[in-house]
Amino acid sequence: MTRGKTVLAASLAVALPLALAAAPARAQPVSGLYIAGGAGVNLLQSTDVEAKGGGTLGEIDWQAGTASVLSLGWGFGNGLRAEIEGGYRWNHIDKAGIAPSLAAPFSGALAQYRGSQRTVSVMANVLYDFALFRDLPVTPYVGLGAGWAWIETHKLRATSNVFGLRFASDDWDNRFAYQAIAGLAFNLPVPGLAVTAEYRFFGTLSPEHDARVIALPGGAVVARGKVEADNLNHSLLVGVRYNFGQVAPARPAPAPAAAPAPAARTFLVFFDWDRADLTARARQIVAEAAQAARTQQVTRIEVAGHADRSGTPQYNQRLSQRRADNVAAELVRNGVPREQIVVQAFGESRPLVPTADGVREPQNRRVEIVLR
């Protein structure tokens, strides 16, 4: 396993600084559909080989191998994500001690090893993103997964050149699989795009494979039967994730040139939580603003939509836009020329009452009508 640890440390030293250097964008919650993929190093723990029904036959050590995953998921905008994932892991045999009574023939310079173990998996994962560093580009996350895996001993051979014996296995089996995930996501300047670096512990229930001991050079089968083996993996992956539903945070529009204070008059229209439709009282206030616009020398009417901080910034931006559009339409219905109206949306960026993130504040759910 020394070689595997070296590869693992080298991958960490290279992957994490690259991800950090490429991630200047502010962290944002995953919302809606996303796709993700990753690849990296897989360390398969030493495998205890046991005969079907009991009895230890020996142990197989594995070289550092490769792992890759591809997933399709959905983010709920509150840190919680769910996804379906396909995975592939491959490790080549390093050495083996097969059958304690024959350990010497299968060990040292007089033994030869070849072949590999391959695992294909389909998993359902639930993950949670921690919004610990909202003003930084990094988001830590953890997850758990369960599913099914297909495990193959691919041309697996341990040959003794002393006694002319060969342990061989070429077989598939499938078993229940499970995994634990811990990672970091680094947001890139492209909205929705992130680089990920993660560790995964992946295991299955012990698979059973056909195995045989062959006498060389003739190839006569000396013994045959089922063997059970452990399948516990440690994977370090670097990948990319793209969130289709994420948009760039709206930048507040520049404030218009201030008119003389006596010429400006402001009307406030309030909304129910997570609603953009006008109440009866709201329509009355809009009608009053339209009446004032007709009787005064008004050249410009500013309609600015706002939202509280109970949702994501992206959702609140869209909600404030709908509110502003509905008020503007009501002004037009009350006889205000559309060309006099300037519509803006500020989302949660300009609260009337400052609050913490996630707080429902009625006074921040508003549209301001300013007559100039």
- Could you report the per-residue pLDDT of 168-198, keeping only the tens digit for each? 899 999 999 999 999 999 999 898 999 999 9
Q: Mean per-residue pLDDT for 80-102? A: 83
Q: pTM to 2 decimals?
A: 0.60
Q: How confident is the model over 198-236, as pLDDT tens digits? A: 999 999 999 999 988 888 888 888 888 888 989 999 999
What pLDDT, on a 0 to 100 scale, did the predictor assign at position 227?
87
Q: How confident is the model over 24-41, as pLDDT tens digits? A: 556 678 999 999 999 999
Angle of helix 313-333 versus helix 280-295 axis, rounded to 10:
60
Residue 65 near residue 180 (C-beta atoms within 8 A): no
Nearest CA-CA partner of 201 in 170, 227, 237: 237
What pLDDT, on a 0 to 100 scale, did the predictor assign at position 328?
92
CA dist 195 and 207 (Å) reads 34
Burial of 292 (0-12, 13-18, 19+ CB in 10 A): middle
Has residue 10 got a pLDDT over 70?
no
pLDDT band at 80 (very low <50, low <70, confident <90, very high): very high
- Where does the chain hold its CATH 2.40.160.20 domain(s)? 2-243
Specify the CATH class of 261-371 in words. alpha beta
CA dist 325 and 320 (Å) reads 9
- Where does the chain hold its CATH 3.30.1330.60 domain(s)? 261-371
What pLDDT, on a 0 to 100 scale, did the predictor assign at position 112?
82
Tell me the CATH number of domain 2-243, given options 2.40.160.20, 1.10.3720.10, 3.10.20.580, 2.60.40.3880: 2.40.160.20
pLDDT band at 23 (very low <50, low <70, confident <90, very high): very low
Q: Mean per-residue pLDDT for 314-323? A: 93
Has residue 54 got a pLDDT over 90?
no
What is the residue type of 348?
E
